[in-house]
Structure 1
Amino acid sequence: MSAASESRSFRFPRIPISAWIGLIVSGLFLFAAIFAPWVAPFGNAQIVGDVWEPISGAHWLGTDNLGRDLLSRMIFGARTTITIAAAATVLSFGLGSVLGFTAAVIGGWFDQLLSRGVDLLMSIPTLIFALVVLSVLPGTMLILILVMGILDATRVYRLARAVAVDINVMDFVEAAKLRGEGRIWVIFREILPNALSPLVAELGLRFIFAVLFLSALSFLGLGVQPPAADWGAMVKENKEGIVFGIPAALIPAAAISILAISVNLVADWVLNRTSDLKGGRGNG
């Protein structure tokens, strides 16, 4: 009993305050996204007042350009923004890391073919590429996830391949190959566990870039389509109010910034944590 208490008191201080702030703020955003229909005081597209009403007891953040409750729109926007960004990030990491590891292990013509294809995609500005594709295809959530995930997978591929090339020549990988282990074993049991530290750090950055990318697409009119809400579209809808001193466009912009900072705080702590654990094991 006392040993367990000592263990708990030893573990909690290892999480720095910055990481706690990031975890709490990110958790609040995630909670709002998951339980949006139950947390939001009004419906997503429900008109509840006049245009751009000020903050009041009835509307904690005021109303938007159509008289919808801005707090409710923010909560539903969190669901849309986080869902699309998270799904695109998972797709980009799943596709980019597997292809990067595979290219590093197989090498030869396969590596050259994939790397030159990735170079070709990366030579085209990502936003312009997405705008061209989305101007032809419908702006559904699935299409947005696929476009964002595939384009972002090129960055993940580059990182995963660079890390895997270094790991692939290490002694424990050579020993696994000499034991007769196949490429799948080498990729998932030897390379992947030792590449997690840089990938975890990149995961947070990629998620934030996905949020910013989605917001930019929505602001330009090719992202999430009305009446659905996401933070980038809300900035676009309410941008005219800035001239009159109405903060309706600044609130979703601030939410994007706060989410970016909180996720980066968590990612930095996880990176430091995994690096410390590896260093401790190496010294032991």
Structure 2
Amino acid sequence: MSGVLRRLSAGGIVGLAILVFWVAMALFGSVVAPHEAGAIVDMEVFLPVSAQFPFGTDYLGRDMFSRVLHGTRYTVGVALIAALIASGSGLLLGMCAAVWGGWVDGIISRTLDTLISIPSKMFALVVVAAFGSSVPVLILMAGVIYTPGAYRIARSLAVTVNAQDFVTVARARGEGTLYLVREEILPNILGPVLADFGLRFVYIVLLLAGMSFLGLGVQPPNADWGSLVRENMAGLHEGAPAVLMPAFAIASLTIGVNLAIDVLSGGRRSGEAG
């Protein structure tokens, strides 16, 4: 780990710092926020940035800094859980398909190919229309949408490793499927899978932000960053920070995750090579 840290570039340090900051805010943002999420703190709306209000105020005179911090748990938390579901399910199914092959591979692959053929936003709109936009529904919806992509990556990697000589030798000496998956295949695909997990997380953040911007994501009185942009659109013509700051938060999170992906996947590959 220390070797990886010494090899970090400036971009990698920035990316990891941004990622750690937003994860910490997802956990403790409601504690460190100076005001309650719904508290009206000033009679003036769309106030500019100031020492008292670092992100200005929104269309009701609420502190946007507090609103963004409270919203982090929905933007980051929901996306993180959904990405874990998608990548975990894709990894498990991909390794099963690669190791067992045959009809198991065919059934799993054809089923997920059918799902991936449906446009993600259309699928999301249908699910929300049918079941509402509660947080559990949003998590499961996003997790299902991005499972096929994670499966394709995991299966492709696992098939390549499964064909290697060291796996053939392990199988010839009588090792079971669980051993092959745990000791031979998973360690050799974990780096790319972690990188893909980061991408799934970014995709889900953007999907959920888009749904919230349309009014179909996290519902009031709760709010994520996408809904914060939508509800303050009236201040766009005057450049109110209430519109810009949630958008900047989304941009900073996606940039930070992408920089962290490059560092973590690169660092793992270097460690394995050594």
Q: Work out whether the TM-score is over 0.5.
A: yes
Aligned mates of 1:155, 1:181 — CA distance in 2: 30
* Equivalent in 110, 124, 135 of residue 129 of structure 2: 135
1:109, distance to aligned residue in structure 2 (A)? 1.2
Tell me if the contact between 2:49 and 2:241 (Cα under 8 Å) persists in the aligned partners. Answer: no
Structure 2: gaps spanning 5 or more residues: none
Q: Counterpart of 1:250 in 2: which secondary structure?
A: helix
Unpaired runs of at least 5, structure 1: 1-6
Counterpart residue identity of residue 212, structure 1: L
Counterpart among 169, 172, 185 of residue 175 in structure 1? 169
CA distance in 1, matches of 2:155, 2:16: 30
- Hey, what does 1:28 align to over in structure 2? 21
Percent sequence identity over aligned pairs: 43
Distance 1:12 1:42 in 2: 36
Aligned length: 273
1:71 pairs with 2:71: no
CA distance in 2 between partners of 1:119 and 1:60 (Å): 47
After superposition, the CA RMSD in angstroms is 1.6
Which 10-residue stretch deviates more, 174-183 or 154-163? 174-183
Who is 2:196 aligned against? 202
Distance change in 2, residues 1:77/1:94 (3 Å) = same
Q: 1:124 to 1:179 in 2, by over 3 A?
A: same
Q: Which residue identity lines up with residue 183 of structure 1 in the other structure?
A: T
Alpha-carbon deviation of 1:11?
A: 6.6
Which AA in structure 2 matches 1:157?
A: Y
Given that residues 25 and 73 in structure 2 are in contact (C-alpha distance below 8 angstroms), is that contact kept between their aligned partners in structure 1? yes
Question: Does residue 236 of structure 1 match 2:230?
Answer: yes
Among 28, 33, 54, the alignment partner of 1:40 is 33
Query: More relative contact order in 1 or in 2 (CA 8 Å, sep 6+)?
Result: 2
Secondary structure (helix, strand or coil) at the match of 1:35 reads helix
Distance in 2 (alpha carbons) for counterparts of 1:11 and 1:225: 41
- The answer to whether the 8 A contact 2:167-2:184 is kept is yes
Does the 8 Å CA contact 2:116/2:148 hold for their aligned counterparts? yes
Does 2:119 correspond to 1:122? Answer: no
Q: How far apart are 1:53 and its partner, in Å?
A: 2.2
Match of 1:145?
Answer: 139
1:158 aligned residue: 152
Q: Name the structure 2 match of 1:103.
A: 97
Aligned CA distance change for structure 1 residues 122 and 11 (closer, same or farther; 3 Å): closer
**Which string of whole-angstrom CA distances, capped at 9 and with x for unpartnered residues, describes residues 212-264 of structure 1?**
11101111111111111200111111112112332321211111111111111
- TM-score w.r.t. structure 2 length? 0.95
Match of 2:183 in 1: 189
